[in-house]
Structure formats: structure tokens, C-alpha cells
A = this chain, B = another copy of it.
Amino acid sequence: MTIKITPSYKEISDRKVKARDAKFIKEWLAPESILPDSSVKDVTKWIKESGCLNDLELEITEADAPTIIENIKTKKWRAVQVAEAFGKRATLAHQLTNCLTEIFFEEGLQTAKELDEYQDKTGKTKGPLHGLPVSLKDNINVKGHATTIGMVKYCFEPEIMDTDSVIVTLLRNLGAVLYVKTNVPVAMMMPETTNHIWGNTTNPMNRLLSAGGSSGGEAALLKLKGSPIGIGSDIGGSIRIPASFQNLYALRPSFGRFPTYGARSGLPGLESVNSVNGPLSISLESMETYCKAIIGQEPWNHDAKVIQMPWRTVELPEKLNIAVVVDDGWVRPVPPVRRGMNIVINKLKEAGHEVIDWDPEDHLRASQIISGFFLSDGGVHIKEVTEPTGEPFFEYMKGYETATELPVSELWKLQAERTTLMKKFLDRWNATASQTSNNKPIDAIIMPATPFAGSPNAKFRDYVGYTSPFNMTDYAVGILPVTRAVKDLDLKDPESTNHSKTDTTIWEDYDPEEVHGGAVAVQVIGRRFEEEKVIEMLKVISKLLDHSDI
């Protein structure tokens, strides 16, 4: 047996975690003794019941963004009170799920103080988000802080950022209060949130389950109301998977609608498919407030890739035409997800909307193309970042270790195929007009965001084929919470469909007891750049659902 020297990555990570922990405000931490034992799975009600927050702090942190903004405007609440309440709650959320990375509560409080002073002095608010705390995924650069994206090399100098991402500049202009960044998987390229610095983020609805990824820290924090609105990013499902795992609302916008410039990418320079950022929240209203505020800043004057498109008013038809996919033919969703889809379908029909089937014929290929793009540099960049510290590859990331780099001529072929497939999706979308009773094409496709109602930590099976086809098409996609897994309702299927090896494995893995309480959410997929319409559809469909226990 060889004796190994502790690899340098461990030392750096330990130092980084200690540095973060030193930034917690001591009085805000719950004593270890009162924290729920790790055997307690569902911790979503713990904070409220713990006594750690007073009534006002609870009232503030349970409010949605419009309410917070309005109450600060009228001085019912001050920005500092709001920042404190969310800072405390974020601290507790972290203690329960390990969701935070960079912590800058003091800066947030300072910003809030300045906002209060500004308001007192001028009688005005600084901007449409005056005093609103906003949490950020740890790929977004904030001046003076690291952006680790879960990679050890990025922990310390010279990797402390000296400029803000464009989205941060806009948030500051709007009067938002920034106070935390949240955990992600290595390079943001896994659907579970774990890495060699911060470790794993668990799911507050069932801590045996993963928070999902890559915006998993955000999703766990938001679920526990440690933030009213958070920003995630999505290149293959990274907003949608964690949002669906935590039953949040979320929006994956089309590329070019929201500013992405100056954020750290796991695969910088990749453009065959573009990472986008978008909001996640327990509140649809909070999400809409965020979108209007950001677009209202004319982000096209700040990010050269954003298009000149103001936030538009959309009127939905009374009767929506919806196409659905319950099973994509490659991986059948587990029983609670299928039950969730049926709830949505039945509610839509009851309300008089028309439901037709969407044939997922090209989804698998679309998903393969996206994977091909991710791996097209043969993992050269990822290896450049991991090698200096010796941080090892997680099993899920092995593809980046072993991939063969493509020559550009091969990439061009893959890009050309993708363009053809985008056109086919568009034509098929238009052609649904021949299947609906009003001869209009569908307004949306509704389908699961993953085959899972949560997946046990470290066990996410290698399949993002429910989300990544819409990165390929670049459609605007919303996440709609539906219900939770119930062990007595969502029994194991008697037989596997054997669609594929992954499908069989997932069938074998499925344990109703294990995923009990896991989230069931679906995607509401609009056309490219139909962000406004997607939000309107989320509103309409949400009203049909019973959300009393999501």
C-alpha cells in the first residue's frame, strides 16, 4: 500500500471552507444542539418552528418580492431589517442543507443601510428593487469575492474578482441587496450539487435527496426562504432540475434576453449551446418582478449579446392548446412524476384547455448533440483547471477526463445538424395547428423536467434528456411545481419498460419510501423568446393546482 501525501486540493478546500465559516455572523447561527438530527428528512418547516427567528423576521422572509419592495417603500420595513431577516434565515438554511459558498452579510447590511439613508434623505427609492435581497449562484462575479464554480483552483487570489458581472451591475442599479452566493457542482456540469470545496447540498424537502444541479445551492436556499429570489444558470437543465427538485418556480430564458456577460463558465468560449441565467423563487410574482426590473434596465446596453427586446405585455387565449409528453421513450419517469403529469393534464382538461400529445421523437438526439458540444474540447479546459490542484474527477465528470477533442470541422457538422433539428422542432410546433380544434398551434409543451421526484444524494442517473433538448432549441421554459411524492400512492411499477439501460437502472433504483416527500414539478415550454407568455401560462395553470403542501 502506498502512503499518499494529502493532495494540495484538500488543504486549499479546507482553508476556503474555514474562511467562509468565519464570515457567518455568530449571533445568526443556530446552536448545533438544536439543529435537527441528520435523520430528519423534511426540514422545510423547521426554521419557522425553531424559534430562531422572531415574528417580524418570519413575516419578512415569508413575503414575496412585491410585498417586500412595497413595505420598504412605505417604510413599514427598513432595508436593514429585511437584510438581517434574510441573512439570518439564509444562515439557518445553510446549516440545514449546506447551500452557501461566498458569504458577505456585512456588505449586504451596508448596502441596506445606505439604501435606507438614501430613502430618508431623498424621499425616493433607488430603483425598482430597492432593498430586495437577491441570492446569486456561484458562477456570478461579485467584486471582492471568489467565483469558485466548485473548483479548487478558483478559491483564492488571483481569483478574487475585481469587477461585477453585468447582471450584478444591473441589480445594484436597481437597488437590490446582495449577500450570498450559492453552491454548485464542479464546473456546473453535473445535475447534483457537489464538489471538492463545499461538498454536497441536500434537499430540504427530503435530505436523503439531492438538491439537484447545477443551481442546487440556490434551490435549497430559496426553498427554505433564505432568499426571496435567486439567480441560477442553465446550459442543459441547471435551473430547471434543481427548481423541479425543490418545487420552485423558475425561468430558463432564451439566450440573449438576460445579460450573461462577465460570469464564470465551466466551459468558457463554448457557444454551440449557450448558458443562460434566470430567476428561481417560491413565488411567481417575485419572479415576474425580477424579470421586469432587469429587462427594464435595457440590458442590451450593458451586454453585447442581449437583444433589444423590452418586457412585453402578453394576452393569453382563453383556451390554451397544450401538448404533453409523459414519457420520452428513453427514460420513463418514476411513478410520482407520472402522477404529477396526470394531475396537470386532468386539471387542464377540466378547465377547458385542449391537450394533445407531443411526439418526443428527436429529444434523444437533441440531448446527444448537447452532450457532444459539452465534450467537444475533449475536457481540455476542465483539466486545465483541475490539474494544478490535483482535484480528482467525480464519477459523473469522467467524460471530461476521457473525451476526445473534436477538430473544428467535426464541430461544424454537429452545429449544422443542430440547426436543422431546431428548424424541425419549429416546423413540428407549427404543424400542431392541424391537431387542435381551433386550428391554432400549441401554446406550450408540458413535460417533466427530470424523470425523478428527487434523486438520492450521489445517485442522479446520467440523463438530462428531459431538459437539454430545450437548450438546443433555446426555448423559454418555466418550471411549475405540482405535488410531492407519496410513498403509498407512488408504488413501484410491477415491470420495467426497459426503454434503455438508464431506464432499467432507474426502475431498479426507485424506492417509494426513499423519495417520499420529494418534489414533483413540470416544465412549461414556450417558443423561443416567449418569456412573458411562459410566465402568464404559469399563472393560469398554477391557479388550477392545489399547492397547499408543495
Give Cα A267 to B409, complex, Å: 9
Looking at chain A, what size class is its interface with the partner chain? 35 or more
**Known contacts A378-B409, A407-B407: A301-B426 contact under CB 8 Å:** yes
- Cβ of A56 within 8 Å of any chain B Cβ, yes or no, is no
* A408 touches which of B268, B304, B376 (Cβ 8 Å): B376
Q: Which residues of B contact A133 (CB under 8 A)?
A: none
- Cβ of A425 within 8 Å of any chain B Cβ, yes or no, is yes
- Cβ of A192 within 8 Å of any chain B Cβ, yes or no, is no
Interchain CB contact under 8 A, A408 and B409: no
Interchain CB contact under 8 A, B425 and A304: yes
Interchain CB contact under 8 A, A377 and B269: no
Give Cα A114 to B32, complex, Å: 84
Interchain CB contact under 8 A, A308 and B529: yes
Interchain CB contact under 8 A, B528 and A419: no
Give min CB distance, A90 to chain B, whole Å: 31
- Mask: chain A, 347-381; 1 = CB below 8 Å from B; 0 = not: 00000000000000000000000000000111011
In the complex, the count of this chain's copies comes to 2
Interchain CB contact under 8 A, A381 and B270: no
- Mask: chain A, 400-423; 1 = CB below 8 Å from B; 0 = not: 000001111101111110010011
Interchain CB contact under 8 A, B307 and A307: yes
What 19 additional pairs, Cβ within 8 angstroms, besides A380-B407, A407-B407?
A: A269-B413, A269-B414, A270-B412, A270-B415, A271-B415, A302-B426, A303-B423, A304-B419, A304-B473, A305-B422, A307-B528, A309-B309, A377-B412, A378-B408, A380-B409, A381-B412, A405-B407, A406-B407, A408-B408
**Which residues from chain A sit less than 8 Å from chain B, CB to CB?**
256, 261-262, 267-272, 300-305, 307-309, 376-378, 380-381, 405-409, 411-416, 419, 422-423, 425-426, 430, 473, 527-530
